[in-house]
Amino acid sequence: MSINSRTTTMAATVVLSTSLPSGCAMSQENQQIGGALLGGVAAGVTTGLLTGNVGYGIAAGVAGAALGWGAVKLVQAETKQVRTAEEDQKLYGFAPASDKVLIKLNKGYASPKTITAGEETTIYSDYSLAVPPSYNGQADVTYSWKLKKDGEVLMEAEPITKSKMAAGHQTDQPISIPKEAESGTYIVETRLSSGDAYDVNEAIFVVQ
């Protein structure tokens, strides 16, 4: 089962307040879909409440507002299998261990890499998952990412966990760039974990 695909419409409201506590209450579904922390400050998030659609979320916060990231639409990532376990092992030499899950981010990049504020880029992450025989060929994989600029974390998306087959996979994470976003170089740090195993990589894009 892949990380849920996007829906096409959304109705949401955003409440931005410096007095909000860091542990705003949200349902598990909303956390998986669109909940986000922006610069370590929680913002009010309402996802698809008017329409019932759950593919989009809105993030807002104090720290990112200074750089033009005060209210950002988050589109939930999509994941697809791109290689069988056997093909993955031949390509990367990534063989299953007898007693633990192995996960490896092979590459990550943004496309397009150079964009204008108000446009969208997508972060592509290719990863390998191998599991012991006792796991029946699959394991839970947790996906999350952070958006950074000049060493500061602007946004940290809520983790999403899905059961994935042992194989090679690709995750596509669209990111809409606000029209007010500052120009410069941005880094998206992707983290994947399964049990005690995890891997992290970075993709770079430039806002002109």
The pTM for the full model equals 0.70
pLDDT value of residue 119: 95
Tell me which residue of 164, 163, 99 sits closest to 133, measured CA to CA.
99
Would you state the structure tokens that stand for residue 207, as one six-digit string? 């806002």
Q: Is the pLDDT of residue 145 over 50?
A: yes
Q: Is the pLDDT of residue 46 over 90?
A: no
Using DSSP's 3-state secondary structure scheme, residue 151 falls into coil
- pLDDT > 90 fraction of the chain, expressed in percent and rounded: 52
**Greater confidence, 190 or 153?**
190
Tell me which residue of 81, 66, 83 sits closest to 150, measured CA to CA.
66
| Residue entry with tokens 């430039």 | 206
Helix ranges (H only) for 42-81 are 62-65
Amino acid at position 96, single letter: P
Least confident stretch, 8-12, 112-116, 174-178 = 8-12
Q: Is the pLDDT of residue 194 over 70?
A: yes
Which residues neighbour 181 within 8 Å (Cβ) at sequence distance 6 or greater?
67, 68, 69, 117, 207
39-66 average pLDDT score = 39
Please give the class, per CATH, of domain 77-207: mainly beta
pLDDT value of residue 114: 98
Tell me which residue of 150, 138, 165, 148 sits closest to 202, measured CA to CA.
148
List, by residue range, all CATH 2.60.40.3880 domains of the chain. Answer: 77-207
Given pLDDT bands bounded at 50, 70 and 90, which one contains residue 80? very high
Using DSSP's 3-state secondary structure scheme, residue 141 falls into strand
pLDDT value of residue 72: 67
Q: Is the pLDDT of residue 5 over 90?
A: no
Radius of gyration, alpha carbons of the chain: 18
